[in-house]
Structure formats: C-alpha cells, structure tokens
Structure 1
C-alpha cells in the first residue's frame, strides 16, 4: 500500500459526521481537518458494537506526514480508511 492511497482515501471522506460501512458493519465517522490541511483527525465507532478507530494525521513543513493512531495499530487505521464506504 502506498501512502498516497491512504491519503487519497482520507481526503475522499467528508468533513464532519457521516455514516457508512466497513467489513460488513455500520460505522459513524467524524472527520476534522484544519483549514490549512496540516492537522486531520478521524474518530469512528461501530454503531452496533464496541469497535472504534481513531487517529490524528499531521503534515509538517518539510512535506513529511505523521500518522498517530490512538491506542491501536497503524495497520488497523489504514485498513479502515481504505475499506470504509460512506452511505449514499
């Protein structure tokens, strides 16, 4: 998986609250982005269970990107963002 795939999928998620599916389960997702795009966060909750996905992503001046999952693996975060589909 390329970092560009993850970032493109994250950018494709709507700002604010939305609902959709991941791995056959329905999630409520809140995405926040700073106006300059350098600070991004996502919090998702399984609407019928106890699973959550939460992280912050920071873009710094030298072009580097830092993913900071909240008490879970980076792999879980990446899998969720790439596999989440918003409800239409």
Structure 2
C-alpha cells in the first residue's frame, strides 16, 4: 500500500494526459473535504477502459481505498504504472 500511496500522491491534481500499458488516457485527480477525500478518474482515449477510485484519509491516519465498481488490483496497477505527460 505504501508504493500505491506514494504513486497516488505523485499524480498531479487537475486534468492531464498519460499512458498506461502503452495506451493513451486522460485522467483527472480532485480533492474534497479539505484534502481528506481524493478522487481519480481516468478514461482510455479511443478505447473502452475506465478507472475510478476514491481515497479517504481517516482520522486514525490510515488511508482507505475505494475503487468504483472494479477490482482494487486494477486501480492499484494503474496508479503505480501510469505515466503522466508533462
């Protein structure tokens, strides 16, 4: 989970283009509730893939990952391996 959190934190806020598994994506990272809640949505350009997740920072200091209707492994892999265009 540490590698995932580091990769997630490294993703810039806002909307950007990137590549995952050699396919182009547009991704948007947003924050809510003073940064205690963050959302990532990514759509494959010209393809069917879609990534959506919420990440919550709990008062205990732990993080809670909630993928939206997809396996946790899918969103973890995407976040760890996506390359965002500068």
Paired with 1:78 and 1:36, the residues of 2 have a C-alpha distance of 23
Deviation at 1:58, TM superposition (A): 0.4
> How big is each residue's C-alpha offset from its partner over 1:1-55, in whole Å with a ceiling of 9 and x where there is no partner?
xx11111111111101000100010000000023632101000000010110000
Q: 2:50 aligns with which of 49, 52, 65?
A: 52
Distance in 2 separating the partners of 1:5 and 1:36: 23
* Gap runs ≥5 in structure 1: none
Unaligned runs of 5+ in 2: none
User: After the TM superposition, which segments of 4 or more aligned residues of structure 1 sit over 2 Å from their partners?
Assistant: 34-37
Matched, 1:65 2:63: yes
2:4 alignment partner, SS class:
helix
TM-score, normalised with respect to structure 2: 0.94
The residue matched to 2:35 in structure 1 has which SS?
Answer: coil
1:43 maps to: 41
Q: Which residue of 1 aligns with 2:75?
A: 77
Partner Cα separation in structure 1 for residue 57 and residue 80 of structure 2? 19
